[in-house]
Amino acid sequence: MSERVLSLEEIKQVELDILKYLHELCEQHQIKYFIDFGTLLGAVRHKGFIPWDDDTDISLARDEFEKLYKVLKNENHPYYKLISFRETKGYPYSYMRVHDIRTRRDANLLDPTVVLGTCVDIFPYDGVVTEESDCKKMKLYKHFVRLSSLNFKGIKSENGGLKNLPRYIGSAIFRLSSPQTWNQKLENLALKYSVNQATDLTCTIFDPSFPEGIKKEWLYDLMDMPYENIVVKAPRKYHEILVYEFGADYMTPPPVEQQVPGTDKNYWID
């Protein structure tokens, strides 16, 4: 078996194909998904991928997220596969992914059996966290997920000190647990803030500290939007959501020096 490094354009094509697959699956099962974060920004500002970006994100309100999760669990696609912490003990994220198992992405994970491929990230939206104690717990659980999943390869000496020693010790301690444990705790807290009882939603598992959310009805009122050479779903109130996520000047690209792709290499497995 051999591998070759994928170019940025090849990564985008793999992700675009997965996005098209997810769009068709959601249409077939009447699931309300929408492109989000940098993918929504790219669609509005660039009519597709942000030129230097290599991520693709979709989101769903929690009830729709669970519908998609069940559909994906029962799918038998030859190379597009669901991966989430619910089934994969060493998976380090609180959201799920669909990845192409013909690919591999660099990941500094403790569990060598967890292979992450080029993917589309899939995020759930829950009610806004209103209790400060829950917000603090969620941030702590996210930190514990990281400590229990990453593989710190050696300790680098810098300026005469062992800069990474505390992180190394923390990781060693948390190897006694798994990211699955902390991700489940994080999700359980997010589920406390039910979509049914909320008026505003936010992606609490990504950042529980947002004091305000997005109006719930915006995440169900969707429209078709062109993205590269396909059509995807986006919130009709995309402007308001982009202002919420990126600020009022979201149409202004960052300085050239900040227009850099991610550092993780992606590989095609032959």
187: Cβ–Cβ under 8 A, 6 or more apart, which residues? 94, 205
Q: Which of 235, 234, 191 is nearest to 215 (CA)?
A: 235
Determine the 3-state secondary structure of 12 from DSSP. Answer: helix
- The Cα 259–Cα 185 span in angstroms is 36
Compute the C-alpha angle 129/134/140, nearest 5°: 120
Cβ atoms 99, 118 nearer than 8 A = yes
pLDDT digits (tens, 9 = 90+) for 73-85: 999 999 999 999 9
- Measure the CA–CA gap between 212 and 132, rounded to whole angstroms: 13
d(CA 139, CA 223): 33
Q: Which residues pair with 161 in a beta bridge?
A: 158
Query: Are 49 and 228 a contacting pair, CB within 8 Å?
Result: yes
| Nearest Cα to Cα of residue 121 among 47, 53, 55 | 55
Q: Where in the chain are the domains? A: 3-126+196-269
Q: What is the DSSP letter of 198?
A: -
Closest listed residue to residue 234, CA positions, set 248, 220, 215: 220
- Count other C-beta atoms under 10 Å from residue 132's C-beta: 9
The reply to whether the predicted model has a pTM over 0.85 is yes
- Spatial distance between the Cα atoms of 245 and 202, rounded to a whole number of angstroms: 10
Dump pLDDT digits (tens) for 8-67. 999 999 999 999 999 999 999 999 999 999 999 999 999 999 999 999 999 999 999 999
Instruction: Give residue-wise pLDDT tens across range 101-124.
Output: 999 998 877 788 899 999 999 999
What SS3 state is found at 51? coil
- Token digits of residue 16: 């675009």
Class of domain 3-126+196-269: alpha beta
The secondary structure of 7-56 as a DSSP string is: PHHHHHHHHHHHHHHHHHHHHHTT---EE-HHHHHHHHHHSSS-TT----
Task: Considering only residues 176 and 66, tell me which one the structure prediction assigns the higher pLDDT.
Answer: 66
With b for 16 or more beta-carbon neighbours within 10 A and e for fewer, the 103-123 pattern comes to bbbeeebbbeebbbbbbbbbb
Give the model's pLDDT for residue 263.
Answer: 80
- 4 or 163, which is more confident: 4
CA distance 17 to 35: 14
pLDDT at position 230 over 80? yes
**Residue 77: left (phi > 0), alpha (psi -120 to 50), or beta?**
beta
- In whole angstroms, give the CA distance from residue 18 to residue 147: 30
